[in-house]
Structure 1
């Protein structure tokens, strides 16, 4: 039996490298590739692969949103998050919402294949640690954590601009709303996330993968 694998990443060269690596393992079959979040979710639900290799920063829905929605709609296959960002906080968040593993994109081919074997066998991968389901609950904790599900679509949109360094005035101009409306949304965001200022909100959003940062840095537009 061959395990069906879906590769999700917005960089064609990286997808090709992963696909070539999977060809080294006879028991793995690539059944599809997706370059954005919505396409990934659609393919997960349509193809029902045994394994999804998932990037976090994707156009549209980010990888964590895809994981959350796929699990909510009944997907039971394994999900291995592969990312260039080494974030303990994001790793714990990814596991809590349904990922089976979290590892670096820099892993050499033999390590990637070993990581895949771990998650397909029912174990969890936390960076370089391989643990059982019981152990992973003890490591990441069962307590609830702050996440972005309580935010409205407009609040998520504003948080994206805040993370990019936009001022309230610039956000208002971009969205065609008043600065006071932006301030009201910002107040609600901070209350829901239990934070005291917009900088904390921006850092949290970036670390958790709620927002997608551009490949090239941009200059912030003004001050709050």
Structure 2
């Protein structure tokens, strides 16, 4: 950390948890606790007065929860890094917290060494994630091998039309390329739009680029 002392604000509605974290962090030579908050609203106020490098944030709290507090304090002080420390590992809570701007996500049964390492990583703009949290995210962001092919629901002709739309061709050009009428192209496009739940060819083109395998 190059002699830098990381300034940490603790946010948790349990006094005992805050006391334990404060003892752990203050014992480290490169970390200091600059404040403690029992709810998200207090946290937002304290960020203004203490200017922490890292906020160690619980999620389930009275008055204002951790997700709302993360969003509010980062709107005022974006250079502060929020590291979630909570009991919840379900993907919805993880996504909410990361979507609000949290840089990392640890669980409360982490070891003291893991919490310290997470705080240091967050201060250096790393993204510490508990392995169990990472697995939860990966189950939805990486398609399993047995997940159906997105192109499987299209007829061969619909797939041809969709690929040509993704290349920027107009309906008349698509018809000439495939040897079909412009009216038939429109029928195929209507079927495609309904199947992937879009309203226009631009959205269909973007969908195709994101979901269809290369030719």
1:18-66 residue CA offsets vs partner (Å, 9 max, x unmatched): 1111123101011110101211110012211001000001110111100
Q: CA deviation at 1:125?
A: 2.1
2:84 maps to what in 1?
81
- Asked if 2 retains the 8 angstrom alpha-carbon contact of 1:123 and 1:130, the reply is no
1:5-20 correspondence to structure 2 within 5 Å = 5-20=8-23
Aligned with 1:57 (options 52, 57, 60): 60
- Larger Rg: 1 or 2? 2
1:141-160 maps to which residues of 2 (within 5 A)? Answer: none
| Residues 65-84 of structure 1: CA deviation (Å, up to 9, x unaligned) | 00111122233211100111
- CA RMSD for the aligned pairs? 2.4
Please give the alpha-carbon distance, in whole angstroms, between the structure 1 residues aligned to 2:17 and 2:131.
21
Higher helix share: 2
Gaps of 5+ in 1: 141-224
Q: Please report how far the alpha carbon of residue 127 of structure 1 lies from its aligned counterpart in structure 2 after TM superposition.
A: 2.2
CA distance in 1, matches of 2:53, 2:71: 17
Q: Which has the higher contact order (CA 8 A, sep 6+)?
A: 1
1:93 corresponds in structure 2 to 96
Is contact 1:44–1:75 with CA below 8 Å preserved after alignment?
no
SS of 1:124's equivalent? Answer: coil
Going from structure 1 to structure 2, the CA distance change for 1:130 and 1:121 (only over 3 Å counts) comes to: farther
Give the whole-Å Cα distance in 2 for the aligned partners of 1:6 and 1:67: 12
Rounded to whole Å, the distance in 2 between the matches of 1:51 and 1:130 is 20
Partner residue, 1:71: 74
Offset at residue 115 of structure 1 (A): 1.4
Name the CA distance, whole Å, in 2 between partners of 1:50 and 1:103: 17
Match of 2:129 among 122, 126, 131: 126
Within the candidate set 45, 49, 61, 2:48 is matched to 45
Length-normalised TM-score, structure 2? 0.58
Partner of 2:206: none
**What residue ranges of structure 2 are gaps of 5+ in the alignment?**
143-215
Match of 2:210 in 1: none
